[in-house]
Chains A and B, each alone.
Chain A
Amino acid sequence: MNWDSLSHFLDMGGYGLYVWGSYAVTLVCIVGEVIALSSRKRTLLRHLSLSHESTTTTQEKKNEATS
């Protein structure tokens, strides 16, 4: 074990800013990418189900009108 206390761990032998600065930005990028992708998928699926729904309903209306 390298660390005897939490403050020791956070200090990183005086290099805390550099070490945690690297890991924090990496975490932000990864979390950001995953959130951006899942929201892209969610909006996409919402639009798709709306558009496919509207095409089927207009089709049904047309069928009603002709019959």
Chain B
Amino acid sequence: MAINWFKYSSPASFYVLAGRMIPWFSIAAIVLCAIGLYIGFFVAPTDFQQGEAYRIIFVHVPAAWMSMFLYVVMAMWSGIGLAFNTRLSSMVATAIAPTGAMFTFLALWTGALWGKPMWGAWWVWDARLTSELILLFLYIGFMSLQAAIDDPRRADKAGAMIALVGVINVPIIYFSVKWWNTLHQGATVSLTQSPKMATTMLTGMLIMSLACWAYAIAVVLMRTRAIILERERHTAWVGALPEVAR
């Protein structure tokens, strides 16, 4: 039997599916966050160079990873929405932007609080920091442009242009520590080399990253559902929803 892959590309059926998925991802986020923080604060040892200040890593690195990853996913859904004219893809892209911007802000904020004791400065115009700041501006630009256009389908298309052009910034952020030899340290974890850190520190960081993933999925699904309701508010299926028709 052939699976109908397009069933959930309809906002009406995706609304129901997303509603069923949200509790699972929320629970996963809470459980993973509890385990990750326990490992981060009680199992992982004190760093021999940075003392306890390094414990910022358990929120800084996951936030920075999510900021880049969510941008790529946002650009991907924007591009699919633009190419195939699928409404739901563009709605998901719109739903990702605020969460991506939040993680970008958190990466910069925790980075500043880590930079002050270790480098002696809250902020430097280092290549990594600057390109991450540009990422924040790209998210803000995407959201303001979409907010400024009344027709949602035109807003989707205009936003997709920013998202797709801006995606070039993501590899720049990723490789910035290699291309420019400035203050921010190089990658501690990479796909080609074994990690340069203690196993418990690495485990804590990876579990916190999984928690951020689960959180981001839950929140993006919640926001997508709100956007679906807003855009489809005049349709019969919205009127027939048990939470609407009371």
A57 proximal to B (CB < 8 A): no
- Per a CB cutoff under 8 Å, which of B102, B113, B226 touches A18? B113
B118-163 at interface with A (beta carbon < 8 Å): none
- Per a CB cutoff under 8 Å, which of B42, B226, B233 touches A37? B226
* A22 contacts B59, C-beta separation under 8 Å: yes
Who on chain B is nearest to A27 by CB? B59
Stretch touching chain A among B5-13, B86-94, B168-176, B236-244 = B236-244
B30-86 at interface with A (beta carbon < 8 Å): 41-42, 45-46, 51-53, 55-56, 59-60, 63
* A44 contacts B230, C-beta separation under 8 Å: yes
The CA of A32 and the CA of B139, in the complex, are separated in Å by 18
| Chief secondary structure at chain B's binding surface | helix
- Per a CB cutoff under 8 Å, which of B41, B63, B219, B233 touches A51? B233
* B51 contacts A49, C-beta separation under 8 Å: no
Question: Taking A13-B51, A22-B109 as contacts, is the C-beta distance between A49 and B46 under 8 angstroms?
Answer: no
B98 proximal to A (CB < 8 A): yes
Question: Taking A2-B41, A15-B51 as contacts, is the C-beta distance between A45 and B113 under 8 angstroms?
Answer: no
* A18 contacts B245, C-beta separation under 8 Å: no
A6 proximal to B (CB < 8 A): no
Measured between beta carbons, the chain A residues less than 8 angstroms from B238 are 48, 52
B246 proximal to A (CB < 8 A): yes
* A23 contacts B59, C-beta separation under 8 Å: yes
A33 proximal to B (CB < 8 A): yes
CB distance from A7 to the nearest CB of B (A): 13
A65 proximal to B (CB < 8 A): no
A61 proximal to B (CB < 8 A): no
* B106 contacts A26, C-beta separation under 8 Å: yes
Measured between beta carbons, the chain B residues less than 8 angstroms from A21 are 113
* B225 contacts A19, C-beta separation under 8 Å: no
B203 proximal to A (CB < 8 A): no
* A33 contacts B219, C-beta separation under 8 Å: yes
CB distance from B88 to the nearest CB of A (A): 18
Given A19-B56, A22-B109, list of 11 further CB < 8 A pairs?
Answer: A13-B46, A17-B113, A19-B113, A29-B105, A29-B106, A37-B219, A48-B238, A48-B244, A49-B243, A52-B245, A53-B246
What are 14 contact pairs spanning A and B, CB under 8 A?
A: A18-B113, A19-B53, A29-B105, A29-B106, A33-B102, A37-B219, A37-B222, A38-B222, A44-B229, A45-B243, A48-B229, A48-B233, A52-B238, A52-B244
Q: Which 9 A-B pairs have the closest CB atoms?
A: A13-B52, A15-B53, A22-B110, A52-B239, A12-B52, A13-B51, A18-B113, A48-B244, A22-B56
- Residues of chain A touching chain B, judged by Cβ–Cβ distance below 8 Å, are 1-3, 9, 12-15, 17-19, 21-23, 25-26, 29-30, 33-34, 37-38, 40-41, 44-45, 48-49, 51-53, 55
